[in-house]
Structure 1
Amino acid sequence: MDEFLKWYFSGRPVAAANLGAEGYDHTLGDFSATAFTDRARDELRWLERLSALQPTTPDDAIDRDLVLSQLRGSIALEAWPDWRRDPGGYLGTVFSALYTPLQRRLKPEGELVAAALSRLAEVPGVLAACQANLDPDLAAPLLVQRGLRQARTGRGFLTETLPAMIEDPVLRARLADAAEPAAVAFDELVAFLDDFRCGGTWRMGERLYSTLLRERELLGYGAAELHAKGRAAWDALDERMREVAPRVNGSADWRAAMESLMDDHPATLAEMRAEYEVETRRARDFVRDRDLVTFADGEECLVLPSAVYTRPVLSVAHYLAPPPLSSSRTGVFFVPYTPDDFTDEQVRQRLRTNSRAVMPSLAVHEAYPGHHWHLSYMAGHPSAVRKVFRTPYFTEGWALYVEKLLHEQGYFDTPATELAHLDCRIFRAARMVVDTALHCDDMTIEEAETFMATKASLSPGTAEGEVNRYCAWPTQAPSYLTGAIEIDRIRESYQGSLKSFHDRIAGAGGLPLGLAEAAVRPGGAGTAAG
């Protein structure tokens, strides 16, 4: 496993550095077509080599099978090469490489700036590789336009956002000077993408979609079954919400009830962030008072505005985990600020989507005992590969599972917050339906946006942003409710306390659900260290 990780990190230095691995923070890596094809060839060799291993312990078997699932998924995706289809991978790497270290500040400022200067010098080469690698027959206009919106934030990000994060004026000036050539490269990429004409599709297709569910996620079923599960979950939640809604507005129309609740929201984005911070502290106290999980030593969750470069492509709250290969246990709950060019009405709609009734569910999901608790706690697991590889079908499934857990524990203690909790869940059921239908060619983008705006309580603008994300990130959107249902199923057969179940299954990592189930069996994988 150590040898495999060394190979894996060498081809993905930004991911390695963000995970806390030492020695990878001065480069962005090789984005040439040759590098991509060489890594794909090496993956086949690793799959053959690791498949032949005979683990001697249950822990080792889970480690091996985790890596094999990741390799099988990556090899399957060679038929759907993002590096030839989507500029987002190049942009995301550049933004993450430069922003994340300065956000975390785990090293002295001088070292952080030195690493940033080295990486800035490589930005023009990475963006040039993006232009060279994009294939007009494979790239989809929707993905290119999504990348274009993000690329347009590049100059401001490099010349304003990054220098503003540096306290020392001399270092700040050095960073600002070094940013200009990279900013010019972003300007050139914007012009290129603006003129780029392509005719590919963003639809993955049922065959590859189902292959990923079975071989990477180890779910045992494909897209059609997942779609049916989403439909059934939506119907059951719809029935339950019709029972709760009259306690909110006297009517069984839960959409109208949620619409009325959305009018009670913070007045500004800054006030929204402040209220989320208060709710995050309340959720932590609640979880600790009821002794539902073991907390990692030194964990802390910051609540901050979302990064400027994410605002054009992410319309919902999200989380940055502590680097698990480091000693840090500080994560960030990013509150979904809008891009600077949004109108007052667009900002208002974003605030409505983050109403006060919804805030408790989102704080539980992103922070306690959701993503932050899970990812800060599992970072104590002794296995390096458990820290490196995780699937959203567990991590997002866990975060939605604990929303239901806290409902059972009485956290959502008003009709408004209970209905909002159910609305968050039915929203994830709608995602299961829409994502599978989009990528299996059963639904148009317009139909998907209408579905999300009418079958969940999303504003039209937020529904548009959500569907755009599903098109760009197939199989991720269904992970929330799918994983939550599977974790509930595993819990039903677990022999032990609620707290021990949580510590054991979540402390074992962010495993594909079949491996997560093996981890809680007697003699399975151990939990993280607190």
Structure 2
Amino acid sequence: MTQCRYDPSVVDAFLDHHWTYHPVDATFMGSKDHDGRLPPCGPETVSGELATIAALEQRLANTAEPAELGDRLDRRMMLAELALQKAAATSRSRLSNPAWYSGEAAFAIISLLLPQSAPVRQDSLVERLDALPAFLTSALERLNGQAVPDSWTARAWREAVAMAEFLRVDIRLHDEFSQHWTAPANAAADAFDAFASGLTGFADADPACGENYLSLLMNTIHGLDFDPREAVRRAEEAFDRIGDELVEMAKSIDPAKSWQELIAGLSDNHPADTQAVFESYRQYDVAARRDGAMLVMPAQEYGLEYRWMAPCFRKVSQSLYFLFYRSPPGLNPGQGSVYWVTPPGEDFDAFLRGNNAAIVKTIHSVHHGSVGHHTQNTRARSAQSRLARIAGTDCALGLAFLGSGTLIEGWACYVEDLLMEASGFYEPAEILLLKQYERRNAASVLVDVKLHLGDWSITEAMAFYRDKAGFAPARVEGEVVRNSMLPGSRLMYWIGVEGIKTLRSRWKGDTLSFHDALLSYGHVPLAWIAEEMQRAGQLN
């Protein structure tokens, strides 16, 4: 059969389809055309979605591979995402997850109140508030009689209760609050309460997605050339090896202390007061840009403003997937991003120790700010692929298109280690902490895969994180619930880092040119970037 020439306008059709079923994603991406809508969840939703997927797949399948890089990556991204959407709709529907409803409902409102959406689109906000009661009523009708993992139900309940309080109380603290929000916000709060009360009577369900679904995620979405069992083998070897490395590294720093003791001691090196904590975020961001400039060109043309978290969000953020740094809306980025700094709570000592120099350096200034996600997101907006400019958008539950994750999360974790090449940026014990991060990422591969192959239960996964991988007890439950809801989303950190290291070892040019080239592709699977670099003759 003769193939047609690829038509770039199919991207518009794909986005229109995606935003029809995910209008909150559209808001986060910067498209304002769906700001007043909530996702459809009625009885015809799945059949309508599958029909559109089939039409788009047919339109794409009849086209030849494009010669232009951007078109080639767009076509590949659409085919992969459509394959995942089809598999999810038929075997793992979001419409069967109560936490999907609570998350979409919550961020339908919050997305319009964040700095990236300023000024608030008043009409759209009220329109969504007005639509929430019907949406949450339909959600309970849809969930009726279904088996649901208990942990998903518990998460949905927490989110719904938190949003009800936010809409009655804390939304009034928003800088642009208007009295005409009051009545629809109160009605929406009542709907959240009713939704929370209705989350009863579900039989517990196994959250495992199964080997076939996980293989689709790894091979088609992430572009990996190995299967889930091989991922387990590699991660187990790395987990054990890194454990041994931690022991030897600790001996070289202080033979009298274990690596756990040395890392715990890092919390003692913290600023003296609240303002000094805030200033440390900026100071280490500046230092990371300065010291890392010989390794990667930091984004200077797009701002990153550190602010205390707005009072209206301080309480609700504790119960939601509320990120202190979000990818800017690629379709409407403005002049810069906001980075929230969480103010002290009742335990002031915990606040100071939690904002120790090592944490602020590694997590805030490098992983998310400066040369991490901030630089990466800035570069992505210039990618030749239209979808690669927005695929890594942080949405209500995670990345807009999961396939972008090996590059996005792989880069942010890789660049933490990259700053070890900047002499003097880290202290020896901070380098030990980075090694622990590496081990935790390998541990997350094991949970991600073993949980969804059915090898481990949620209880067993939690025990592994707590007893073997050294995760903080307060973080364990939320981490495993996220693993269970989003298969294939935690393996991409460690696998992404390993993939970037391999690519760098094969790069024909210098370090700066490698990182510039890597980030120029935008948010696409790292494995595809490797193929494109090979195609361009850039790799040994």
Counterparts of 1:154 and 1:44, CA distance in 2: 36
1:140 to 149, 157, 168: 149
For the residues of structure 2 that align with 1:474 and 1:270, how far apart are their CA atoms? 40
Q: CA 1:301/1:232 → structure 2, altered by over 3 Å: closer, same or farther?
A: farther
1:442 aligned onto 2:455 = yes
> How many angstroms does 1:271 deviate by?
7.2
Equivalent residue number for residue 393 of structure 1: 406
**Aligned twin of 1:485:** 498
State which drifts further: 260-269 or 415-424: 260-269
Matches within 5 A, 1:458-469: 458-469=471-482
Aligned residues: 512
Aligned to 1:38: 48
* Map 1:376-391 → 2, pairs under 5 A: 376-390=378-392, 391=404
Are 1:119 and 2:128 matched, yes or no? yes
SS in 1 for 2:261: helix
In the alignment, structure 1 residue 472 sits paired with structure 2 residue 492? no
**Aligned residue in 2 for 1:408:** 421
Deviates more, 1:276-285 or 1:416-425: 276-285
> Deviations for 1:363-411, whole angstroms, at most 9, x for unmatched residues?
2111121111111221223432222324212211111111121122336
Query: Which moves more between the two structures, 394-403 or 129-138?
Result: 129-138
Contact 1:287 1:368 in 2 (8 A): no
Find the partner of 1:60 among 71, 77, 95.
71
CA distance in 2, matches of 1:334, 1:237: 33
User: Aligned residue for 1:421?
Assistant: 434
Kindly provide the amino acid, as one letter, of the partner of residue 68 in structure 2: T
* Whole-angstrom CA distance in 1 between matches of 2:271 and 2:97: 36
Counterpart of 2:302, as a letter, is: G
- Take 1:439 and 1:135, find their aligned partners in 2: how far apart are those partners? 25
Structure 2 counterparts to residues 71-220 of structure 1, below 5 A: 71-109=82-120, 112-134=121-143, 136-167=145-176, 172-193=178-199, 195-220=200-225
Is the Cα contact below 8 Å between 2:299 and 2:374 reproduced in 1? no
Say whether the 8 Å CA contact 1:67–1:389 is kept in structure 2. Answer: no
Contact map agreement 2:69 2:384 (CA 8 A) in 1 = no
8 A contact 1:313–1:469 mirrored in 2: no
Q: Secondary structure at the match of 1:326?
A: coil
Partner in structure 2 of residue 284 of structure 1: 289
Q: Report if aligned partners of 1:166, 1:172 keep a CA contact under 8 Å in 2.
A: no
The alpha-carbon deviation at position 182 of structure 1 amounts to 0.5
In 1: Cα distance, 2:137 partner to 2:109 partner: 18
By how many angstroms is 1:175 displaced? Answer: 1.6
Spell out structure 1 runs of 4+ moving beyond 6 A.
Answer: 266-271, 347-351
Q: What one-letter code is carried by the residue in structure 1 that aligns with 2:168? A: T
Deviation at residue 519 of structure 1 after TM alignment: 3.6
Q: 2:98, 2:343 → 1: CA distance?
A: 23
Q: Which range moved further: 30-39 or 476-485? A: 30-39
- SS in structure 1 at match of 2:357: coil
Q: 1:356, 1:28 → 2: CA distance? A: 41
Instruction: State how far apart, in whole Å, the 1-side matches of 2:284 and 2:509 are.
Output: 30
1:17-67 C-alpha deviation (Å, 9 max, x unpaired): 221123222222422231233112321221222122112323322211111
- 1:168-226 deviation line (CA, Å, top 9, x unaligned): xxx52112232111011011011111x23223221222221122111111111221111
Relative to structure 1, is the Cα distance of residues 444 and 256 closer, same or farther in structure 2, using a 3 angstrom cutoff?
Answer: farther
Instruction: Name the CA distance, whole Å, in 2 between partners of 1:312 and 1:178.
Output: 22
Q: Deviations over 1:78-121 (max 9, x none)?
A: 34434333122222222222222321254444xx2222111111
Return the letter of the residue paired with 1:59.
G
Matches of 2:183 and 2:494, distance apart in 1 = 47
| Letter in structure 2 aligned against 1:328 | G
TM superposition score normalised by structure 1: 0.88
Query: Do 1:400 and 1:480's aligned partners in 2 also have CA atoms closer than 8 Å?
Result: yes
Would the alpha carbon gap of residues 495 and 291 (structure 1) be closer, same or farther in structure 2, given more than 3 Å must change?
same
In 1, Cα distance between the equivalents of 2:343 and 2:463?
24
Match of 2:12 in 1: 2
1:313 positional shift: 5.0
Paired residue for 2:8?
Answer: none
- Match of 1:175, SS? helix
In structure 1, distance between residues paired with 2:271 and 2:142: 44
- Corresponding position of 2:30: 20
SS at match of 1:520: helix
CA distance in 1, matches of 2:83, 2:486: 18
- Tell me which amino acid in the other structure corresponds to 2:46: F
Q: 1:90 to 1:25 in 2, by over 3 A?
A: same
Structure 1 Cα separation of the partners of residues 253 and 319 of structure 2: 34
Alignment of 1:507 onto 2:520: yes
Residue 298 (structure 1) aligns with: 302
Q: Is the 8 A contact 2:92 2:209 kept in 1?
A: no
> Matched residues in 1 for 2:149 and 2:316: separation?
21
Gaps of 5+ in 1: 526-530
- Write out aligned runs for 1:295-374 (5 A): 295=299, 297-302=301-306, 304-305=308-309, 308-312=315-319, 319-334=325-340, 355-363=356-364, 364-374=366-376
Partner SS state of residue 328, structure 1: coil
Paired AA for residue 174 in structure 1: H
Aligned residue number for residue 401 of structure 2: none
CA contact (8 A) 1:66 1:389 kept: no
Q: Deviations over 1:313-356 (max 9, x none)?
A: 559x6531110011425234455789x9xx96xx9778766643
1:448 and 1:354 map into 2 onto residues whose CA distance is 28
Indicate if the aligned counterparts of 1:32 and 1:129 stay in contact, CA closer than 8 A.
yes
The aligned residue for residue 47 of structure 1 is 57
Q: Equivalent residue of 2:209, what SS?
A: coil
Distance 1:478 1:72 in 2: 20
Change (3 A) 1:272 1:123: farther
Whether the 8 Å CA contact 1:324–1:379 is kept in 2: the answer is yes
Give the Cα–Cα distance (whole angstroms) in 1 for the partners of residues 301 and 262 of structure 2: 41
User: What is the distance in 1 between the residues matched to 2:78 and 2:298?
Assistant: 27
Contact map agreement 1:28 1:122 (CA 8 A) in 2? yes
SS in 1 for 2:225: coil
In structure 2, C-alpha distance between the alignment counterparts of 1:351 and 1:213, rounded to whole Å: 40
Q: Percent identity?
A: 24
1:61/1:158 CA distance change after superposition, 3 Å: same
Match of 1:197, SS state, is coil
Q: What letter is aligned with 1:91?
A: S
Deviation at 1:153, TM superposition (A): 0.2
Give 2:510's aligned residue: 497
Using the TM superposition, name which of 141-150 and 492-501 deviates more. Answer: 492-501
Contact 2:291 2:425 in 1 (8 A): no
In 2 relative to 1, CA 219–444 (structure 1 residues): closer, same or farther, beyond 3 Å? same
Give the match's secondary structure for 2:306. Answer: strand
* Distance of 1:468 and 1:410 partners within structure 2: 39
Amino acid at match of 1:126: F
